[in-house]
Structure 1
Amino acid sequence: MENSIYNSMIAANQLLEKQTVISNNLANISTTGFKEKFNFTLKNQYMENFYNKDNKITKEYYNFFPGILNYTKRDLDLFIKDNGWLAVKDKNGNEAYTKNGHLKINSKRMLTIQNNEVLGNKCIIRIPRNVILKILSNGIITAIEKKKNSFSETKIGSLKLVHLPLQDLIQKENGLFYLKKNSLLNKNINHNNKITVQSGALEESNVNPSKNMIEMISNARQFDIQMKIISMCEKNSEYANQLFNI
């Protein structure tokens, strides 16, 4: 009886965790560059044999399949191609990575993504005033300035574009991706010359709303079943106690 209640409680908790993940996916349908997240459960056979209980380990993984392209025609909107990522500095000063290429210029004339400073390839990118920016496919940023009857084009920096092993990535609450602590890679990933970008386009979220809604409904029904099992076990326990008292 106790095992049944225990197993149902474990299953119910896992379903609640899945619902939280699905809710977050659905809330980010319109978030640029967002990657769909899932939980999956593995049985820990050693722990199960040792404790004689149903022990499971829940792990998370991400759907890194690219989202559809939104052609904005905005010069500071970038689509990072293939398995490329933009490097940024988060609010704690740590290097992080994103597929969100919606760049803005802050009051300090720095390029930012969601208020996180965009990192340059061995340089600090500072945007001059009264210039037209142009970002080349290799990440080089140039400033076009009109002087009298002619235009001059000057390189002002280069984006840090990186290639990352997907199995070593983890997403934090700020929406940015980081290398896992146990990653064998150096924490400071070098710029990769093979990564290219496309200006005037953004990669949209890859969340499949229909699929997530179906899973949410399915999880809710399974949760109700586990609650009914727990309730039934408690009632049976009460009946058994009454019989013993007699």
Structure 2
Amino acid sequence: MENSIYNSMIAANQLLNKQTVISNNLANISTTGFKETFNYILQNNDIKNLYNKYDKIIKEYYNLSPGILNYTERNLDLFVKDNGWFSVRDINGQEAYTKNGHLTINPDRKLTIQNNEIIGHNCSIKIPNSVNVKVLSNGIITSIEKKNNKIFEKIIGQLKLVTLPNKDLIRQQNGLFYLKPNNEVLNKYNYTISHDNNVRIKSGVLESSNVNATKNMIEMISNARQFETQMKMISMCDKNYEYANQLININN
């Protein structure tokens, strides 16, 4: 009977973790560039845990397929194609990566994504006052000024665009992606990911979240019912304990 209760507790806890992931997916259904998350629960086959069937490993995976494209016609709304990523610096100064291409200019005239400064390719990007900005498909940013009926175009800098291995990505609570520590990619490039000249972007387009609302809602309802079943199992086992104790007391 103790085994049954323990099994139900483990199952209920796993369902709660899964429900948290699904809730986060649904909460970010309108977040630009958000990638759907899901968990896999695996048996820990480490030799030390060979006989512990309750020892599980929970791995987080991401659906990195592109979301629907929204055409905004805004020069600083960018869509990075295929396996490309924008590079930003988080509030701790660490390099991070995102698919969110909604760029804004902060009071210091620097480009940011969700208040995280954009990293330039071998340059610091600062947008001059009173100029129109155009971003080319290779990430080069130019300023466009019209003087005396003539158009003058000047290169401001270039976005750092990178290609990342999907299996080595991890998302933190700030919504940004990072490379897992001690992986081959970081070691290969001496802990710095290089700019990839092959990555291309499209201006005037934003990638929406790729969360499937219907699928996540169905999974949420299914998890809730399974959780309720596990709670009933625990309650039933608890009542059986009471009946067993009563029988023992009567026999004594």
Note if contact 1:121-1:158 (Cα within 8 Å) is conserved in structure 2.
yes
Mapping for residues 84-163 of structure 1, pairs under 5 Å: 84-163=84-163
Per the alignment, in what secondary structure is the counterpart of residue 85 of structure 1?
strand
Equivalent of 1:244 in 210, 229, 248? 248
Give the paired residue count.
245
What is the aligned partner in structure 2 of residue 20 from structure 1?
20
Unaligned 5+ runs, structure 2? none
**Shift in Å at residue 59 of structure 1?**
1.0
TM (normalized to structure 2)? 0.95
Equivalent of 2:236 in 220, 232, 237? 232
Q: Which amino acid aligns with 1:9?
A: M
d(CA) in 2 for partners of 1:65, 1:168:
16
What is the aligned partner in structure 1 of residue 5 from structure 2?
5
Matched, 1:198 2:199: no
1:221-246 C-alpha deviation (Å, 9 max, x unpaired):
00000001101111111111111112
**Shift in Å at residue 205 of structure 1?**
0.2
Identity across matched positions, percent: 68
d(CA) in 2 for partners of 1:170, 1:81:
20
d(CA) in 2 for partners of 1:225, 1:170:
33
1:51-107 C-alpha deviation (Å, 9 max, x unpaired):
4x4322111100001001000000000000010000000000000000000000000
What is the aligned partner in structure 2 of residue 50 from structure 1?
51
Q: Which amino acid aligns with 1:27?
A: A
Note if contact 1:33-1:98 (Cα within 8 Å) is conserved in structure 2.
yes
d(CA) in 2 for partners of 1:235, 1:111:
62
1:9-31 C-alpha deviation (Å, 9 max, x unpaired):
01100000010100000011100
Per the alignment, in what secondary structure is the counterpart of residue 50 of structure 1?
coil
d(CA) in 1 for partners of 2:128, 2:50:
65
Per the alignment, in what secondary structure is the counterpart of residue 59 of structure 2?
strand
**Shift in Å at residue 47 of structure 1?**
5.8
d(CA) in 2 for partners of 1:3, 1:184:
42
Q: Which amino acid aligns with 2:51?
A: F
